[in-house]
Structures are given as C-alpha cells and as structure tokens.
Chains A and B, each alone.
Chain A
Amino acid sequence: MDKEVRDSRDIRDGVHPKIIQALLDADTDLVVEDALENEMILNMGPQHPATHGVLRLVLRLDGETVIACVPELGYLHRGYEKLAENMTYFEFIPHTDRLDYISPMANNVAWVLAVEKLAGIEAPPRAQYIRMMVAELARIASHLVAIGAFAMDVGALTIFLWTLREREKILDIWDMLCGARFTNSYARIGGVANDIPPEALAKAKWFIDQFDENLTECEKLVNTNRIFIDRLDGIGVLSKEDAIDLGFTGPNLRASGVEHDLRVAQPYLEYNEVDFKIPTFTEGDSLARYFVRLDEMRESAKIVRQVIEKMPEGDVLLNEPKKVLPHKTEIYTKMEELIHDFMIVNFGINPPEGEVYHAIEGSKGELGFYFVSKGEGHPWKCKIRSPSFNNLQALPKLVVGNMISDVVAIIGSIDPIMGEADK
C-alpha cells in the first residue's frame, strides 16, 4: 500500500493517522504456509459421554481427520488383582460383578468355573444348565446395551430406549432368581446360590418367546436407516490377521471373519449339548460388528430355549463339604454344616498347589482368570484377562485415518466396558 492511498483512506475513515500507523507497524502477520497442515491435539474423555465410561483418548487431528490416537486407561483402576490375592475365592465373587457391570452373571460364572477347575470339582448338571441360562441371558442383556448405546452414539436415540426395555425384562428375571437386578453374585463355587424358582423359569420362557419379534422391531428402526448405515459401513475396518494379532476376541473377532467361539472351540458348562451357530461376518467394519451382535442375540435366545427344555432335575449345589459352602438353612440346623461353613468362610477352600487358566466366551470376548495357588485359601496370584482391555488395544489402528465423528462410532462398535478394562 503506498502512502497516498493510505492517506486518502485515513481521511475517509476518520481515524487518527497515528492509530493507523501503529496498527500498520505492529507485527500482525499470520503465517499460514498450508491451511490444511495445521495439527491439533484434542483430549477426548475421560468424561466424554460417548467413551462408554472413563476412557480417555488423546487424538492428534489434521482438520477433522485423526492422524494419531493414544488411549489412556486407569481412571477406574481399583486394583482387583491385588484385592483377590488377599481374599478367599468365595469372597471375590461379588467383586466380579463390578468387572463387566453390564453382564455380571457371566462374570460370576467365569470366576466359579476357573476356581472349580483349580479345585478339581464340577457342579451338578442342573446347576450347569442354570449357569448356562444366566450366562446367555447376560449376553443378550449386554448386547442390547451395546447396540443401543452404539446406535445412540451415532444419532439414533429411539433404539436405545427400546433395547433397554428388553433388557429390563432380563433384569426382572434376575431379580426373581437371586433378588438382585444388577450386581447378582448368583453363582457359587460348586453350583449356584439357589434353585431357579418356577416363576423365573416361566418368565425366561416368556421372554424368549417374545424377544425375537421385539428385536426385529428394534432392528427395523436402524437397519434400513441410510444415515446409520452410511456412518458405519466401511468405518474402522480391521483385517482378519490384524484382529488375531492384536488380541481381538468375541464378537469383534467374528466380525473380522474368524469363526472362533470358545463355547464351540473349548466347550465348558454343557455347551456341547446345545445346538447353535456362530455368526460370522467378513467385512470387519463397524457395521459388521453391529450385525454380529444382533445375530448373536438370536443364537443366545435359541440356546436359552434349549436349556429350558433340557434342564434336568436335581441338586444345584455339589455335595463336597470341604469345598462348597452349604446352604444357609443347613448351617442353622446342622452341626457339621456349621463347622464347614466356619472353616470355608475363615480359611477358604484350599485348592491344591498349581496354576490354571480358564476362559469363557463372555459377551465382549474371552474372559479368563489365571490362578496360581499355593494350597492356601486365597490365590497367590490372580490375573483377570479382560476382553475389553485387549479389544481397546486395536482402537488406535481403527481410528487413524477416520474423521473425529467416526471415533465415537468405532468406540461404540468395539463395545468396551471400562470397569473390565481397568480392573
């Protein structure tokens, strides 16, 4: 700008020339070499509503594209492994409820199965069938939350309300079964806490009968919704090899085309007695992970129906006084049981020296417990192999290259529960 032009404009604007001069002299240059090459660090979480708990992601963004992602865990770390080393195997059962708090029943079952393997005992058939039923109901309850919350994250609110309505019915069954809706602590070492009451069985039967129709209704809301499909199709793709290498298990692994299910591969409980399919998709994207969960719920419903039909009569608690806590009514009336109760509560069940790892197919993936026993009442070492922790490990790989709004969709699709990931 030459001087004459500037002067003429000064006069026109009526601004004092000194001010104009000061502004022109000031260093106000903004150097932008390339507007698209500006990177920004964004902190997402731990209080972000779409991170399903207290997951914190530190994202490096280029515009809206994620170029790097570092998950930070530990905001819900309660030191359960340390606690487990200092309590008996019985005492820890309520703590397993707080791991994956969406499906506590399955966690109880996983814990007691691992302890039973270590102690070398097996629950009676009726107890095994009841455990199978509650574990499958827990899977349905968990997947209902997973797909509901997932759809809500990408903007479809109604399905969340509808899936929670279905979940509520399962919680009612659990209420009848053990008196608690959320933190059940129902399974016991050597069986289950009490026999299943007839009305709970009837309610479970009713639930399975009406479930398929209601699930179809929920599906209709989003399965043909263009926005929902477009936001998930081809987003967060993980190949088969990467999924295995990164430690994916459960529905996420099956969405990447690996037909692997511990219920079939290494049957526990009575899963070889029931007939079901392993839903597998090959796409490996967020949409496939959604569809896997939908199909799995139908298969679980099928299992529950068969379990109810096949459930044998008999005891629900093993007759092994040194290892199994007797029922409360017997403790109050019989001397022997009172002594055993005292010994087990105070000193534990003392499984033999050794180490075991037992895993079940939880709703999120492989939920395993690794015990090292020194023959004492409490484990010398307890390691919780939580599926959410391992699934989250793949998150940086999934989100890099996607838009920031896809991060929310991808987190929802791998369905982490931070209570379990942080232990």
Chain B
Amino acid sequence: MEIKELLSQKLKEKFPETEFEFSEFRGELTVKFPKEIVLEVCKLLKTDNELEFLQCTDVTAVDWATRKNRFTVVYQIYSFKNNFRLRLKADVDEKDCSIDSVTSVWKGANWQERETYDMYGIKFNGHPDLRRMYMPEEFEYYPLRKDFPLMGIPGSIPLPKK
C-alpha cells in the first residue's frame, strides 16, 4: 500500500526515536504512538504536502477497564487529497489522565474532545473551552467509563434549585 509506506517514512523522518505501531484490520490503517507527541504528529499529518489530512472526523476514547494503560484516545482523520482514512491511537493512563488537545490543529476536534472529556474524564491540555458537552456541569461521574453502572447512580443528577 503506497500511502502506508509514505506515512511510515514521513513519521520515521520526523520522529527517529519513536516507535510507531502500524496495524491493519479490514483494510483500515491504524497508527499507535506515545501520547507525548500527539500534537506534533497531528501537525505533521495535516500540514505535509503529500498527506494533507485536513479533516478530523472523530475523536473518542476506549476504556479498557483492566489494562495498565486504561484508556486509548482514538482519532479518525481523513485526507481529501488521497481519499484516505487513518486512525490514530494513543494510550492514556488513569493516573495521569490527560493528553494534549489537537484543537489548534483541527478546529473540528473541539467538541469531540469536550465530549470525550465529558464521557471518560480525560483532560485535554490546551483545550480552549474544556467543559462538559452533554452532562450537567455539576455531574461528578464519567458515564462511559466501564465502572459507571448502566442504570446510572441514583441522585447523581440533582434536581434544579427552585
């Protein structure tokens, strides 16, 4: 696959010390890397003349519940030029539950990151407006974490004051 080689070549050039994990499933390419370089990787992918991943389709996270690195932040990005969809992944540990925000690269990541913060409690450093997306501000839990019960927690959403 041509774009895959181009991608790995470009990434190796820019980050010689970092190890990138490429994987493919059902024809979809995934790149995994340490969370510290997420901002630089995204900048490279967007601004590179041959890659031009101009749109951030989606940002979300996966809660693995029992793994050492509990969360994985997942980005789906799309290149109009190459008509190619790429998935980026970076592990986030529960102890240091934060990752750099990519809103400065793609403005469209703004609400997606807010939603991920709302649902998983992962903080996005440098996000311009990190508030909860769906749940009320005073809500204390993160509903999509695996330890949050499906039926909810009684009394966790207080009634509005009269």
Smallest CB gap from B63: residue in A: A381
- Which residues from chain B sit less than 8 Å from chain A, CB to CB? 25-26, 28, 30, 54-58, 60, 62-63, 74, 76, 80, 83, 85, 87, 106-112, 115, 119, 132-136, 143-144, 148, 150
Asked if A355 and B134 sit within 8 Å, CB to CB, the answer is no
Query: Total A-B residue pairs with C-beta atoms closer than 8 Å?
Result: 92
Collect the chain B residues with CB atoms within 8 Å of residue A393's CB.
Answer: 107-108, 110-111
| CB within 8 Å for A368 and B25 given contacts A81-B144, A380-B62, A393-B111 | no
CA distance A260 to B111 in the complex (A): 23
Interface of A is mostly: mixed
Asked if B25 and A354 sit within 8 Å, CB to CB, the answer is yes
Collect the chain A residues with CB atoms within 8 Å of residue B107's CB.
Answer: 242, 245-247, 393
Asked if A357 and B76 sit within 8 Å, CB to CB, the answer is yes
Smallest CB gap from A245: residue in B: B107
Asked if B134 and A383 sit within 8 Å, CB to CB, the answer is no
Smallest CB gap from B76: residue in A: A357
Collect the chain B residues with CB atoms within 8 Å of residue A357's CB.
Answer: 28, 58, 76, 85, 87
Smallest CB gap from A118: residue in B: B26
User: Could you mark each residue 348-364 of chain A with 1 if its beta carbon is under 8 Å from any beta carbon of chain B, else 0?
Assistant: 00000011110100000
Name 14 interchain pairs, CB-CB below 8 A, sorted by A: A79-B143, A82-B148, A242-B107, A244-B55, A246-B108, A247-B57, A247-B106, A258-B80, A356-B26, A356-B28, A357-B87, A385-B76, A393-B107, A422-B134
Collect the chain A residues with CB atoms within 8 Å of residue B108's CB.
Answer: 245-247, 390, 393
CA distance A383 to B59 in the complex (A): 9
Collect the chain A residues with CB atoms within 8 Å of residue B83's CB.
Answer: 265-266
CA distance A383 to B148 in the complex (A): 17
User: Could you mark each residue 228-249 of chain A with 1 if its beta carbon is under 8 Å from any beta carbon of chain B, else 0?
Assistant: 0000000000000010111100
Collect the chain B residues with CB atoms within 8 Å of residue A85's CB.
Answer: 144
CA distance A236 to B148 in the complex (A): 41
User: Could you mark each residue 250-268 of chain A with 1 if its beta carbon is under 8 Å from any beta carbon of chain B, else 0?
Assistant: 0000000010100001100
Which of A81, A258, A368, A423 touches B58 (beta carbons < 8 Å)? A368
